[in-house]
Amino acid sequence: MNDILERDTKKRSVSNFYQDVIKGLNSQPKHLESKYFYDDRGDELFQQIMAMPEYYLTDCELEIFKTRCTEMHSTFSVFPDGFDLIELGAGDAMKSSHLLSCLLNNNVKFTYYPIDISGHVIDLLETELPKKFPQLEVKGLQGEYFQMLQKASTFSERPKVLLVLGSNIGNMPPDDAGLFCESLRKYLIPGDLALIGFDLKKDPQTILNAYNDPAGITSEFNLNLLKRINRELHANFDVGQFTHYQTYDPQSGACKSFLISSQDQDVIIADHGPIHFRKNEYIFMEISQKYDLGDLDKFAGQSGFKTVNNLFDSKNWFVDTIWEA
């Protein structure tokens, strides 16, 4: 029974992937969804990105988690009877581990629900976290943020603390990020908390360098999605005929990545007819939006949150903002 359910879920997710890819590549302009970057190889490449000297985001937010967990803990102490700590896009939980450790050391009652689109990531967390934190109650959920948030809500009636770290919200265009905050708010009740990481506007060159590394890891990260499509959707992308191109616009704060077709070419995906790419035509791959504090106050206000605290790194490049529903 469980086997059948699992196979069904897998089939459904393959066909969602197929439909999203076909729809995106038949659109004008062509685009793909960056949430599909994270297959096993994509996870590995993202780990390499986080370790690059140019990719400052992880270091900044890690600094916040290394130095400010006591403050987070005291903010969460409004829930003396415990809470559910739900992390959207947990990844390797490197940053949140500092918080888990602080909460456990202070005998806080909580269950940790890491949510991630990558099944590989969830499997890893469920085996590794109990080794590191034997007292931790942890239940991993693999899937889309809101579906899994819904699921987590059926497990308990305790207050919620949501974590949305790593500037994951930056992968949405600003209007969608606003709607996302509104949706988050709807899953919460008054008093619940959300701690959200936003990458801030700063020296444009610093931002561009973080997404345009000379070693080509970010390029490989983008091209890996074409390889994934080849593998999982039986396509025939000639990956050598696409080049990564990165932009940052200091006015809008949009940092965007594209893959540019080096020549006129056709690509076949499974039994779908050929999709044509003109020479120099682009596929829009990802946005990594940068904000200023005014933008964040607007998001909070519009979605019915109030800002409780802003935690910055020492360079003021990144903020983890704590909002109350």
Q: Does 118 interact with ligand AVJ (rule: CB under 6 A)?
A: no
Work out how close the CB of 158 gets to ligand AVJ at its nearest, in angstroms, rounded to a whole number: 28
Per rule CB under 6 A, count of chain residues that contact ligand AVJ: 12
Compute CA 63 distance to the chain's CA centroid, rounded to the nearest angstrom: 19
CA atoms of 3 and 232, how far apart (whole Å): 21
Which region, left, alpha or beta, applies to residue 96 given φ > 0 means left and ψ of -120 to 50 means alpha?
Answer: alpha
Stretch that binds ligand AVJ, among 76-84, 142-150, 166-174, 268-276 (CB under 6 A): 166-174
* Nearer of residues 57 and 103 to ligand AVJ, judged by Cβ: 57
Span 279-318, contacts to ligand AVJ by CB under 6 A: 286, 288
Stretch that binds ligand AVJ, among 68-76, 100-108, 165-173, 298-306 (CB under 6 A): 165-173
Stretch that binds ligand AVJ, among 10-18, 70-78, 163-171, 184-192 (CB under 6 A): 163-171
Count of alpha carbons within 13 Å of 229, Cβ hemisphere only? 29
Work out how close the CB of 286 gets to ligand AVJ at its nearest, in angstroms, rounded to a whole number: 6
Give, as one character, the DSSP assignment of residue 263.
Answer: S
Could you say which of 42, 170, 174, 253 contacts ligand AVJ (CB under 6 A)? 170
CA atoms of 66 and 68, how far apart (whole Å): 6
Could you say which of 21, 25, 32, 57 contacts ligand AVJ (CB under 6 A)? 57
CA atoms of 69 and 90, how far apart (whole Å): 17
The shares of helix, strand and coil residues in the chain, as percent rounded to the nearest 5, are 45, 25, 30
Stretch that binds ligand AVJ, among 10-18, 142-150, 164-172, 183-191 (CB under 6 A): 164-172
Span 190-229, contacts to ligand AVJ by CB under 6 A: 211, 218, 221
Residue labelled with tokens 């005014």: 294
Phi, psi (degrees; rounded to nearest 5) at 88: -90, 120
Q: Is 235 exposed, middle or buried (0-12, 13-18, 19+ CB in 10 A)?
A: buried
Residue in the shown chain whose Cβ atom is closest to ligand AVJ: 288
Span 225-254, contacts to ligand AVJ by CB under 6 A: none
Stretch that binds ligand AVJ, among 128-136, 153-161, 167-175, 291-299 (CB under 6 A): 167-175
Could you say which of 140, 166, 174, 253 contacts ligand AVJ (CB under 6 A)? 166
Could you say which of 49, 102, 125, 226 contacts ligand AVJ (CB under 6 A)? 49
Task: Give strand ranges (E) for 173-325.
Answer: 193-199, 242-249, 254-261, 265-269, 272-277, 282-287, 306-312, 318-324
Count of alpha carbons within 13 Å of 173, Cβ hemisphere only? 4
CB proximity list for 174: less than 8 A, separation 6 or greater: 253, 289, 291, 295
Work out how close the CB of 298 gets to ligand AVJ at its nearest, in angstroms, rounded to a whole number: 21
Work out how close the CB of 121 gets to ligand AVJ at its nearest, in angstroms, rounded to a whole number: 12
Q: Which residues bind ligand AVJ (CB under 6 A)?
A: 49, 57, 166-168, 170-171, 211, 218, 221, 286, 288
